[in-house]
A and B are shown apart, each in its own frame.
Chain A
Amino acid sequence: MPRVSRRTVRDALSVALTVGAYGVAFGAAGVAAGFSVLQTCLFSLVTFTGASQFAAVGVVASGGAGVSAIVAASLLSTRNALYSLQMAPVLEVSGWRRLVAAHVTIDESTNVALAQSSHGPDAVRHGFWLTGLGVFLFWNVFTLLGALGARSLGNPAAWGLDAAVPAAFLGLLWGRLTDARLRVVALVAAVFSLLATPILPSGTPIIATVVVAIVAGWRA
């Protein structure tokens, strides 16, 4: 196996640590939403795709039906299919390695990997695996800490945990608003879901906003 460059290790570890530390917020959100510590940890171990995990527990916390939670979380993770399409020809994995690669195919592993493109295919592969496995490790450790912490705190509202979740979504959204068109789409989606909240069953306005994406993305 070719030597791993120090630059790739540095990129991967800094992303893995900062993103992983954010697992504290998910751990707290899961417990505050009514999931047990075990269930909250299983989300991070098995679902392992941050925004979708937040969406699943968030919809349950806001009183939505289980199906709405699952659909919202799954829709939010469809971008992972595009990531795996990008990574498949570079990683050239088969058998059990392919199953592991799929599990750690997330925003961070794909983006760090592709950022190494100018340093050759080995650097891309190293970036993918180091970041994917690194985020997995830290994300799970910090989820456990957050879940245990939230359980010992009691009433989530008294500690601001119920505002930490929408703040987290806002932070995730903010990073994606790279041009004026995306900002307009985000704003329209927010207004749409505000108007839909009193009309549609609880939890479904979130899924229904996909209509906004379809309309906005139909023409170039």
Chain B
Amino acid sequence: MASVSPVVTWSVLIGTSVLCYAIKLVGYLVPPRWFAPERFQRINSLVPVVLLSALVVAQGVAVKTHLVIDHRLAGVAAALAALVAKAPFPVVVLSAALTSALVYRWR
């Protein structure tokens, strides 16, 4: 297991929980016209796409500030193949885990 200071893990847990709940509550409390500008809506709809893309990179080939090609990339490639083959979600994740574990053990 990775060892991370409890101060970090608890503050991330609490900070994320408070902010994510506040964001969900916003729409129930403010007048809808505040969010009307089309530009805001357009950018907001792209935010999950860019963040998820960056997260694939960060988790697939980055270790801190280095780019590292290892077993994880093999796993991501297997996931990509599964997605192209229109496999259901659990199959995508399982094939990534299986491929990565095999490469990790037999490299």
Which chain A residues have a beta carbon within 8 Å of chain B's beta carbons?
Answer: 18, 21-22, 25, 31-36, 39, 42-43, 46-49, 51-63, 66-67, 69-70, 72-89, 93, 98-99, 101-103, 105-106, 151, 154, 156-174, 176-177, 182, 185-187, 189-190, 192-194, 197-203, 205-206, 209-210, 212-214, 216-218, 220
Contacts and interface: CB of A to CB of B under 8 A. Distances in A.
Given A74-B16, A74-B20, A198-B67, A185 B50 contact: yes
Interface in B51-107: 51-67, 71-72, 74-76, 78-80, 83, 89-90, 92-102, 104-105
Contacts of B16: 43, 47, 52-53, 56, 69-70, 73-74
Contact of B44 (A54, A59, A79, A88): A79
Contacts of A185: 46, 49-50
Give the dominant DSSP class at B's interface.
Answer: helix
B58 A205 contact: yes
Given A21-B90, A35-B9, A160 B62 contact: no
Contacts of B3: 34
B99 A34 contact: no
Contacts of A47: 13, 16-17, 20-21
Question: Main SS of chain A's interface residues?
Answer: helix
15 contacts: A56-B16, A76-B51, A76-B52, A79-B47, A106-B24, A151-B1, A158-B105, A159-B101, A163-B71, A166-B79, A182-B49, A185-B49, A193-B53, A212-B50, A220-B42
Given A73-B19, A164-B93, A194 B48 contact: no
Interface residues of B, number: 78
A187 B54 CA distance: 9
